[in-house]
Amino acid sequence: MATIGTPTNISQGSRTKGGIGESTLRPDGILKVTGEFAYSSDMWHEDMLWGHTLRSTVAHAEIKSIDVSEALATSGVYAVLTYDDLPTEVKNYGLEIQDTPVLAHGKVRHHGEPVALVAADHPETARRAAAKIKIEYVELPVITDEASATAPDAILVHEGRDDHHIGHVPHPNIVHRQPIVRGNADEAAERADVIVKGEYTFGMQDQAFLGPESGLAVPSEDGGVELYVATQWLHSDLRQIAPVLGLPEEKIRMTLSGVGGAFGGREDLSMQIHACLLALRTGKPVKIVYNRFESFFGHVHRHPAKLYYEHGATKDGKLTHMKCRIVLDGGAYASASPAVVGNASSLSVGPYVVDDVDIEAIALYSNNPPCGAMRGFGAVQACFAYEAQMDKLAAKLGMDPVEFRRLNAMEQGSIMPTGQPVDSPAPVAELLRRVKARPLPPEQQWLSAGQEADVRALPGGLSNTTHGEGVVRGVGYAVGIKNVGFSEGFDDYSTARVRMEVVGGEPVATVHTAMAEVGQGGVTVHAQIARTELGVAQVTIQPADTQVGSAGSTSASRQTYVTGGAVKHTCENVREKVLEIGRRKFGSYHPAWATAELLLEGGKVVTDGGEVLADLVDVLEGESVDVELEWRHRPTEAFDLRTGQGNGHVQYSFAAHRAVVEVDTELGLVKVIELAVAQDVGKALNPLSVVGQIQGGTTQGLGVAVMEEIIVDPKTAKVRNPSFTDYLIPTILDTPTIPVDVLELADDHAPYGLRGIGEAPTLSSTPAVLAAIRNATGLELNRTPVRPEHLTGT
Amino acid sequence: MRVNFTVNGRQQEADDVWEGESLLYVLRERMGLPGSKNACEQGECGSCTVRLDGVPVCSCLVAAGQVEGREVVTVEGLADFARQRAEHGGCATGACGTTLDQAKRWEARPSDSQTGEGSALSPIQQAFIDAGAVQCGFCTPGLLVAADELLERNAEPSDADIREALSGNLCRCTGYEKILDAVRLAAARQEEAV
């Protein structure tokens, strides 16, 4: 009989049933297992049309002409729109720099750029009509790497760019640049007994969320539009949509519909404006659902990167200095590239103490697919490189790789390369100790006593490519550091509205935020927070929409911290108001109303000594409390554009991995046997969800280690593998056992001491797997993903 | 064309079906059963898995015309399907699958289509919730149909059996560990119940 559950190490307990610290179940769980949960692609409206996007077949070209007449004449087609049909002078949008055209005008800058839109009565009609649109392109040379982008005669991807970054970059084809200089790396290098250099390549990863981009736009009677859509940040979408439509924001009512995963890929707009334009033009509801092929063109990817590193260390194992240069390819449009550069540079040293550093990170404009946010956001690429460097240094010094890391591990009070002190627990050495202390899985698991080899447990699996011959094992370690929340001075706030009243004889709390639930479990945690703060069993979570203030983005591991913080803060305010009502109604009956610290627990007002003063039903009878408040974490500041100094981050998150792999050296096939992880979460508000997030993040890191990559043809900048047949994500057969060890070292600055968790496990998973493959094969392996040809030298 | 088939025990008739439409499209857009998901429409991810005369298939790869006169079970009917299997003895051990006769004996009971209330969940559905195997949930319907079919023919699957049976279903959120937990849990509860 198999064991149930993965052993974890999380403390349990909370004063209120269903409150924080308990593994309460998802409120949307029943709907999701019965197929009744309404995802954005499930929306339906009477008299609904289907929208379709025509996308460029070339990466870089001038558009000489577009002829839509034949498409428009197709039976069942209601509208065909191009750039000329946009209703206002605002024709671009963007997260930070408004450089992304709603529909291409004059030029296309990447393969798959939207050029025209069709609305028809059947999705196939729309697709076939779009195929009849005639576009005349004059192809231009493609910019695909740093050399072609910064060549003296390079064509500018964006002529006449006028954003605020232009003054700080050496070439207009560079979106942003962030140097960090601290101490004197050249001088410090002279103290080094060993120096290692490395060049690393990180492939383009895709978020590959399962639910494709989709949504429904419904024109409203006041000339506005209602939009039901899967997104990560409703208010950010709204801010970008309104100017293009020429409508005031209050005429665009956005409601979050079910989101099938996000991982950063829904931070940028996809079909939002397109569906609204078609709905406003036709006067009918319009639904757009991307298929998987289109989804690969419909969202930004993780920046592929080249990383050049130099580290030095003394013979007793202390790091002397670090120099690095990180070149991120941002593709055709800026998206989140400036912030990704800020993260990559400021986290490029990793969770180590190095006083003397010389760092530069840049992001390019190119004709490759646009890149932006993805889980780990710039820290992932750096972690891959600095962890390889740590192993190289340890090997050169003849030291154990974990011991070498622990000698240099940062801790609370350490100083970041940006000069910022780490002012909360940083248990880097302890996380490494924990993954190392875990017993190793038994050797040659494919053999069980007296039986034939179970090929399913071998590299190559059911393909039956080996029975164990040529299979070698390796073990590798890695640890990473990720910032939590939006950095560099961003006003990173959230809003919560909480109502408390008596419904059906029970005290009930209602929580309304605009937080995008993308699967991470925010809706579960918000109810837990309300139960803890308000002492009620019944908590209703209202659907997220723009009728309440912004919650910020469901990204950067920030939602439980920031929107959770907003819910907590608002509940505390509601609690005070409830107690005021109680004092007014019942204060004369007991002196504790005026003198004691009062709590709400189990539907009652109690003193901190446990004495019950009143039932909440009696306090709230005939009254209700309704509060909406914004909440902010500690402010951050921008990094100096020359030195990189500044208190840019609000909190850090740490995870460590140990990977155990087996490699068939004859065929170059890898099987990851186990991927153990230890992470500090500050406080596990919902242990079950915490473990799920850590395992999911770990698996995305595994994917980029051994299989995931969008392949872009370097000659044409065309995407070669936009499908789940050719872009591989880990299946259950590719994914090993993932034992999770959770630490709870509270961050005193955060609500409940919690630490954002979603991204950190994605960082160290990849380099741990690479380290294990290197350990098994003795190969250097400076690129990810590792492919069979890298292991067999073919 | 017109297609007549049975979905979750109810006779259905779809009119004006274009010959290129998939079973997935007909279920989602014509039958009002969006539980089967449209994640790749290429047979690679398993999100649209349904049972066709008892056999798990990717409904995106089945042309609507192919289901004429046949029986389809989707995630919306999974709870009733599992309950009736239990009542009729089902297949407790060994690999036997669902016979056509068994599939045809089965009928859905009415339930509240908005909340799922009124119909008890199948053991695998409950186990997915209890084990934390649901995050964004987009892969969940396909995984449930595939896992339920596994447990029907193999009541005590090993981890390797579970991995093999679910290898056609992609999940991007969970890392699969809790999905394994859920199938183990459902199998253990099934064993206790016998």
**What residues pair up with A288 in beta bridges, in sequence order?**
A215
Residues A691, B132: C-beta atoms closer than 8 Å: yes
State yes or no: cis peptide before B141, omega within 30 of 0.
no
pLDDT of the residue at A160: 87
User: With bands split at pLDDT 50, 70 and 90, how would you rate the model's confidence at A555?
Assistant: very high
Interface test with A, best of B38, B125, B161 (most A CBs within 10 A): B38
Q: pLDDT digit string (tens) for A63-85?
A: 999 999 999 999 999 999 999 99
State yes or no: cis peptide before A785, omega within 30 of 0.
yes
For residue A729, list chain B residues with Cβ-Cβ distance below 8 A: 170, 172
Q: Give the C-alpha separation, A614 to A605, whole Å.
A: 5
pLDDT of the residue at B191: 82
Interface test with B, best of A50, A287, A732 (most B CBs within 10 A): A732
Residues B172, A454: C-beta atoms closer than 8 Å: no
Asked if B8 contacts B26 with a C-beta cutoff of 8 angstroms, the reply is no
Dig out the tokens for B57 from the structure.
């298939």
Q: Give the C-alpha separation, A247 to A226, whole Å.
A: 12
Q: Is B94 exposed, middle or buried (0-12, 13-18, 19+ CB in 10 A)?
A: exposed
Closest of A559, A542, A443 to residue A497, by C-alpha:
A542
Dig out the tokens for B98 from the structure.
């669902």
pTM of this structure: 0.95
User: With bands split at pLDDT 50, 70 and 90, how would you rate the model's confidence at B109?
Assistant: very low
pLDDT of the residue at B115: 40
Length of chain A: 794
User: With bands split at pLDDT 50, 70 and 90, how would you rate the model's confidence at B107?
Assistant: very low
Give percent of chain A above pLDDT 70.
Answer: 98
Closest of A436, A437, A439 to residue A479, by C-alpha:
A436
DSSP A249: G
**What residues pair up with A538 in beta bridges, in sequence order?**
A508
Q: Which of A208, A692, A733 sits opposite B178 (nearest CB)?
A: A692
> A766 versus A455: which is more confidently predicted?
A766
Residues A36, B116: C-beta atoms closer than 8 Å: yes
Q: Is the pLDDT reported for residue B103 higher than 70?
A: no
Q: Is the pLDDT reported for residue B118 higher than 80?
A: no
Q: Is the pLDDT reported for residue A558 higher than 80?
A: yes
Q: What is the ipTM of this complex?
A: 0.96
Mean pLDDT of B26-48: 96
pLDDT of the residue at A5: 37
Dig out the tokens for A662 from the structure.
């087996």
Dig out the tokens for A77 from the structure.
């087609």
User: Which of A10-24, A132-146, A259-273, A705-719 is least confident?
Assistant: A10-24
DSSP A515: B
Q: Give the C-alpha separation, B30 to B28, whole Å.
A: 6
Mean pLDDT of A520-541: 97
Q: Which of B40, B125, B166 sits opposite A34 (nearest CB)?
A: B125
DSSP A233: B
Dig out the tokens for A665 from the structure.
């050296």
Closest of B141, B154, B145 to residue B190, by C-alpha:
B154
Q: Is the pLDDT reported for residue B95 higher than 60?
A: no
Q: pLDDT digit string (tens) for A185-213?
A: 999 999 999 999 999 999 999 999 999 99
pLDDT of the residue at B110: 41
pLDDT of the residue at A224: 98
Q: Is the pLDDT reported for residue B76 higher than 80?
A: yes
Interface test with A, best of B31, B74, B177 (most A CBs within 10 A): B177
Residues A692, B173: C-beta atoms closer than 8 Å: yes
Residue A174, H or E segment:
strand A174-182
User: With bands split at pLDDT 50, 70 and 90, how would you rate the model's confidence at A16?
Assistant: low
Q: Which residues contact B44 (CB under 8 A, 6 or more apart)?
A: A292, A723, A724, A725, B170
Q: Which of A37, A210, A689 sits opposite B47 (nearest CB)?
A: A210
Q: Would you say the C-alpha torsion B137, B139, B145, B149 has a positive or negative sign?
A: negative
Q: pLDDT digit string (tens) for A86-98?
A: 999 999 999 999 9
Residues A35, B177: C-beta atoms closer than 8 Å: no
Q: Give the C-alpha separation, A489 to A418, whole Å.
A: 14
Q: Which of A25, A211, A462 sits opposite B136 (nearest CB)?
A: A211
Q: Which of A124, A210, A291 sits opposite B138 (nearest CB)?
A: A210
Q: Is the pLDDT reported for residue B106 higher than 80?
A: no
Q: Match 């334009």 to its residue by tokens.
A: A277
Mean pLDDT of A617-628: 97
Phi and psi, residue A229, nearest 5°: -155, 155
Asked if B49 contacts B146 with a C-beta cutoff of 8 angstroms, the reply is yes
Q: What integer best gives the mean pLDDT of chain B?
A: 87
CA distances A579 to A25, A301, A532, A611, A624, Å, are 30, 50, 16, 15, 12
Q: Which of B126, B176, B181 sits opposite A4 (nearest CB)?
A: B181
Q: What integer best gives the mean pLDDT of chain A?
A: 96
Q: Give the C-alpha separation, A83 to A92, whole Å.
A: 10
CA B11, B17, B21, B22: dihedral to nearest 10 degrees? 0
For residue B170, list chain A residues with Cβ-Cβ distance below 8 A: 210, 724, 729, 731
Residues A33, B114: C-beta atoms closer than 8 Å: no
Dig out the tokens for A85 from the structure.
């049909």
Interface test with A, best of B138, B183, B194 (most A CBs within 10 A): B138
Q: Give the β-pairing of A194-202 and A92-93.
A: unpaired
CA A96 to chain centre: 17
pLDDT of the residue at A387: 98
Q: Give the β-pairing of A286-289 and A49-55.
A: parallel
**What residues pair up with A471 in beta bridges, in sequence order?**
A664
> Closest approach of chain A CAs to the CA of B69, in angstroms?
24
> Closest approach of chain B CAs to the CA of A210, in angstroms?
5
Q: Is the pLDDT reported for residue A2 higher than 60?
A: no
Helices (H), chain B: 23-25, 78-87, 100-105, 123-130, 140-153, 159-165, 177-193
Residues B79, A737: C-beta atoms closer than 8 Å: no
**What residues pair up with A301 in beta bridges, in sequence order?**
A371
Q: pLDDT digit string (tens) for A698-708?
A: 999 999 999 99
User: With bands split at pLDDT 50, 70 and 90, how would you rate the model's confidence at B117?
Assistant: very low
Q: Is the pLDDT reported for residue A1 higher than 90?
A: no
Residue in chain A lying closest to B137 (CA): A32
Q: pLDDT digit string (tens) for A578-620?
A: 999 999 999 999 999 999 999 999 999 999 998 999 999 999 9
pLDDT of the residue at A93: 98
Q: Is the pLDDT reported for residue A635 higher than 50?
A: yes
User: With bands split at pLDDT 50, 70 and 90, how would you rate the model's confidence at A9?
Assistant: very low
Range with top average pLDDT, A13-27, A132-146, A434-448: A132-146
**What residues pair up with A658 in beta bridges, in sequence order?**
A477, A676
Q: Match 């800020």 to its residue by tokens.
A: A342
User: With bands split at pLDDT 50, 70 and 90, how would you rate the model's confidence at A165?
Assistant: confident
Residue A616, H or E segment:
helix A616-620
pLDDT of the residue at B89: 65
Length of chain B: 194
DSSP A250-311: GGEEEEEPB----TTTTSS-SSHHHHHHHHHHHSS-EEEE--HHHHHHHS-EEPPEEEEEEE
Residues A210, B29: C-beta atoms closer than 8 Å: no
